[in-house]
């Protein structure tokens, strides 16, 4: 069988289906039995195999052997969005070249992007774990217009899974069977660097690729210098091969308005780019530009993969030691302030600068279709855009880590244990009931449900704070220590205000719904009695009527004032069901 992809054979008009993935993985393993292994790591919702290809000449083909010999592992994840097939076709071509076979086939029309032969033999010093088609069901839902804002190939797969879930929003909640399989793969292999291959949406301009690396804005601050070095070195390699490469995702701040400029993207852990830094590992988001032809995009993606292999071969030993140090630091986060969410900084010193961006001439006239201004680009006329760029982030949520860890009461132990296991987090089950005088509870002062579902869930945003309050725990509850290497990921999941926590994804929504009700006429009866018996309450109520016009005009709010102060009020309403403790593992 040929080792060329259908993309190369068709002069980059087409991309193959899942049968090509299966055939090429088998062909690589047959051609290079000493250097390539193909295996299935999961099954999709529709029953399709999820396949990976491990390639290395370093002599280790199991996770245990890689760890024992300290061989750095680069994972290349393609096809999380199957319409963005560049990474799949580029990955097979890059691995073929790294193994010593023919280089990527050039299109007949030529391409402005060069491809240099790999430097040395990276595979003698690294292993590469290639996932060609993460979303296998979406990969097979092909159509000519699945990616209408993209220049080729002629037919592509569909963005979402058979459950209509976007896998690049599923890393923390892990609802999709495909994501559960991926998390198991990560638990087993623990890649040092993970590259997620994508194609942009958005404006039209000259740059052909953006590279974003973490930890740079996120995660352990001590890893950020090496993350920045990785990013800059890869950008330099791509630039040397003719790319106009960006260090940020080039989406206008105001949709469809290039004059609004750009800003650094802050990725939360629902995304691959935000998830890996919570694990103290490096991640690289490769986004080729959707309006470049498919041949160009595949060549740029190939260059990114080969460049990463070269960089991991050169620096992987040092980076591996850096992440092991980060693991040790994470195990000592108890009692420390931890940044859980960030956002683009628009107010800090030097937060906004004006940049020269290589775009195309455009007009913004009123559209006869929508009746609002619409951007029309002239890709034949390059133009420098002088636009604002917000290149820094600032913490938007900082939480002090518990000194001991988290306590999960028995009713939620199975659900939470399942997610903790998926993410490789440590916990243990309490074998006896206990009273905990040191527990903290999170009592919510405000809860806001989403008005419509997102990724299959009704999201929830809560406000409130932790405060000391003893709580009994039955046998069968869980203790989850903060002293573990993935403590940042643990906090991202269990801190209720974190943007991609289990709370935010609606796992505990029932706790924020009232279950017992008091008729208005009954409220009137006991409210009058409360006023008669409590002068301080009477003064508080009258002051509220005087100082808060909205409250005074809202009958339900006035009745609620008394319901919340009456002994019939449900003290567990809006109480986050997970606790925190200052006690360590040996005290439980």
Strand-pair partners of 436: 471
Q: Identify the residue with better confidence: 350 or 415.
A: 415
Strands 282-288, 193-199: pairing kind: parallel
Half-sphere exposure of 3 (CA within 13 A, CB side): 21
Both tokens of 194, joined, read 């993970």
For residue 39, the number of C-alpha atoms closer than 13 Å in the C-beta half-sphere is: 10
- Is the preceding peptide bond at 385 cis, omega within 30 degrees of 0? no
187-215 mean pLDDT: 96
Taking CB atoms within 8 Å and a gap of at least 24, the contacts of 223-232 are 223/277, 223/280, 223/282, 223/322, 223/323, 223/326, 226/282, 226/315, 226/318, 226/319, 226/322, 227/282, 229/315, 230/193, 230/282, 230/284, 230/311, 230/315, 230/319, 231/284
CA–CA separation, 309 and 233 (whole Å)? 12
- Residue 434 pLDDT greater than 80, yes or no: yes
In terms of Cα–Cα distance, which of 322, 332, 281, 278 is closest to 486? 278
Residues in CB range of 4: below 8 A, 6 or more apart: 102, 105
Give one DSSP letter per residue of 61-118, joined into a string.
-SHHHHHHTT--EEEEE--SSTT-THHHHHHHHHHHHHTTSPPPPPPTT--S---PPP
CA–CA distance, 187 with 421 (Å, rounded to integer)? 9
Distance CA 112, CA 305 (A): 18
Which residues, in sequence order, are bridge partners of residue 245?
209
For range 280-306, the mean pLDDT: 97
pLDDT of residue 1: 63
For 3-46, give the DSSP string.
-S-HHHHTTTS----HHHHHHHHHHHHHH-TTTEEEEEEEE-TT
With tokens 């393993």, the residue in question is 29
pLDDT digits (tens, 9 = 90+) for 491-531: 999 999 999 999 999 999 999 998 888 899 999 999 999 99
Which has the closest alpha carbon to 178: 55, 40, 29? 40
Phi, psi of 457 (to 5 degrees): -135, 150
pLDDT at 412 over 70: yes
| Cα angle: 396, vertex 397, 402; to 5 degrees | 165
Whether the pLDDT of residue 422 is over 90: the answer is yes
pLDDT category at 8 given cuts 50, 70, 90 is very high
Rounded to an integer, what distance in angstroms lies between the CA atom of residue 171 and that of residue 194?
A: 14
- pLDDT tens digits for 308-338? 999 999 999 999 999 999 999 999 999 999 9
CB atoms under 10 Å from CB of 517, counted, come to 8
Its pTM surpasses 0.85 = yes
Phi-psi region of 183 (alpha: psi -120 to 50; beta: other; left: phi over 0): alpha
Measured distance CA(26)–CA(218) in Å, rounded? 38
For residues 161-179, give the mean pLDDT: 98
Q: What is the pLDDT of residue 571?
A: 83
Using the predicted structure, report yes or no on whether residue 410 has a pLDDT greater than 90. yes
Confidence class for position 429, pLDDT limits 50, 70, 90: very high
pLDDT tens-digit series, residues 81-91: 999 999 999 99
d(CA 21, CA 109): 26
pLDDT at residue 203, as a whole number: 86
User: How many C-alpha atoms does 332 have within 13 Å on its Cβ side?
Assistant: 4
pLDDT band at 572 (very low <50, low <70, confident <90, very high): confident
Q: How confident is the model at residue 392 (pLDDT cuts 50, 70, 90)?
A: very high
Q: Is the pLDDT of residue 10 over 60?
A: yes
Alpha-carbon distance of 322 to 316, in angstroms, equals 10
Residues of the chain with pLDDT > 90, as a percent, come to 90
> Is the per-residue pLDDT at 588 higher than 80?
no
Q: Is the pLDDT of residue 74 over 60?
A: yes
The residue-averaged pLDDT of 475-484 equals 97
The average pLDDT across 98-102 equals 93
Quote the DSSP letter at residue 122: G
Distances, alpha carbon 149 to alpha carbons 291, 292, 482, in Å: 7, 11, 45
To the nearest whole percent, how much of the chain has pLDDT over 70? 98
The C-alpha angle with vertex 284 and arms to 278 and 285, in degrees rounded to 5, equals 105
CB atoms within 10 A of CB 3: 17
Q: Is the dihedral of CA 413, 417, 419, 425 positive or negative?
A: positive
CA 91 centroid distance within chain: 22
Look up tokens 């319901």; give the residue.
Answer: 563
H or E stretch at 365: strand 352-366
Average pLDDT over residues 123-130: 98
Domains of the chain, CATH where assigned: 6-330 (3.40.630.10), 346-395 (no CATH), 401-514+573-587 (no CATH), 520-563 (no CATH)
Measured between alpha carbons, how far is 420 from 501 in angstroms, rounded to an integer? 12
pLDDT given at position 504: 98
347-368 residue pLDDT tens: 888 889 999 999 999 999 999 9
**N-terminal to C-terminal alpha carbon distance within the chain:** 60
Give the angle 53-20-84 at the CA atoms, nearest 5°. 80
Buried b (16+ CB within 10 A) or exposed e, 403-413: bbbbbbbeebb
Q: What does pLDDT average to over the chain?
A: 95
State the DSSP string of 552-580: HT-HHHHHHHHHTTSTTS-TTTTB-S-EE
Quote the tokens at residue 351.
């937060």
pLDDT at 568: 86
Q: Quick check: 126 and 113 in contact, CB under 8 A?
A: no
């Amino acid at each position: 069988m040929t080792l060329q992809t259908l993309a190369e054979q068709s002069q980059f008009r087409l991309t193959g289906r899942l049968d090509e993935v299966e055939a090429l993985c088998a062909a690589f393993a047959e051609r290079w039995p000493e250097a390539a292994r193909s295996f299935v790591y999961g099954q999709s919702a529709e029953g399709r195999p999820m396949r990976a290809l491990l390639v290395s000449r370093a002599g280790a083909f199991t996770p245990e052997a890689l760890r024992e010999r300290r061989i750095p592992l680069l994972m290349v994840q393609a096809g999380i969005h199957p319409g963005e097939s560049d990474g799949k076709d580029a990955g097979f071509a890059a691995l073929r070249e790294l193994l010593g076979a023919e280089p990527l086939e050039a299109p007949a029309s030529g391409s402005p992007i060069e491809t240099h032969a790999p430097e040395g033999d990276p595979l003698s010093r690294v292993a590469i774990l290639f996932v060609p088609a993460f979303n296998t069901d979406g990969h097979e839902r092909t159509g000519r217009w699945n990616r209408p804002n993209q220049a080729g190939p002629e037919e592509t797969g569909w963005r979402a899974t058979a459950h209509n879930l976007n896998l690049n929003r599923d890393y923390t909640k892990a609802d999709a069977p495909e994501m559960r399989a991926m998390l198991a793969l990560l638990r087993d292999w623990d890649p040092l660097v993970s590259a997620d291959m994508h194609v942009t949406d958005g404006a039209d301009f000259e740059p052909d690729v953006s590279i974003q690396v973490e930890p740079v804005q996120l995660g352990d601050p001590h890893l950020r210098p090496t993350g920045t070095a990785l990013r800059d070195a890869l950008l330099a390699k791509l630039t040397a091969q003719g790319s106009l490469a960006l260090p940020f995702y080039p989406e206008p701040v105001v949709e469809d308005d290039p004059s609004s400029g750009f800003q650094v993207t802050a990725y939360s852990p629902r995304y691959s780019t935000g998830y890996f830094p919570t694990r103290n590992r490096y991640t690289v988001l490769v986004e080729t530009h959707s309006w470049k032809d498919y041949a160009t995009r595949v060549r740029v993606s190939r260059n990114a993969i080969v460049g990463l292999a070269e960089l991991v071969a050169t620096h992987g030993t040092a980076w591996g030691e850096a992440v092991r140090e980060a693991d040790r630091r994470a195990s000592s986060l108890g009692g420390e302030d931890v940044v859980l969410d960030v956002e683009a900084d628009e107010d800090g010193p030097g937060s906004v600068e004006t940049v020269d961006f290589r775009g195309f001439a455009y007009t913004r006239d009123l559209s006869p279709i929508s009746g609002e201004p619409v951007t029309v680009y002239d890709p034949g006329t390059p133009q420098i855009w002088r636009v604002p760029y917000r290149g820094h982030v600032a913490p938007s949520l900082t939480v002090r880590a518990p000194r001991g860890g988290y306590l999960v009461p028995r009713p939620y132990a199975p659900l939470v244990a399942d997610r903790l296991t998926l993410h490789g987090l440590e916990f243990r089950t309490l074998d006896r009931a206990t009273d905990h005088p040191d527990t903290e509870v999170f009592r919510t002062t405000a809860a806001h449900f989403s008005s419509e579902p997102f990724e299959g869930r009704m999201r929830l945003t809560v406000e409130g704070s932790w405060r000391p309050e003893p709580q009994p725990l039955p046998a069968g509850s869980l203790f989850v220590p903060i002293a573990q290497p993935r403590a940042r990921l643990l906090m991202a999941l269990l801190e209720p205000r974190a943007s991609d926590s289990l709370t935010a994804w609606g796992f505990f929504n029932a706790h924020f719904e009232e279950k017992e009700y008091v008729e208005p006429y009954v409220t009137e009866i006991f409210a009058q009695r409360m006023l008669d018996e409590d002068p301080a309450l009477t003064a508080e109520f009258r002051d509220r009527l005087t100082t808060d016009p909205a409250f005074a005009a809202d009958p339900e709010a006035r009745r609620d004032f008394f319901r919340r102060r009456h002994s019939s009020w449900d003290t567990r309403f809006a109480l986050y069901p997970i606790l925190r403790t200052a006690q360590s593992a040996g005290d439980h």
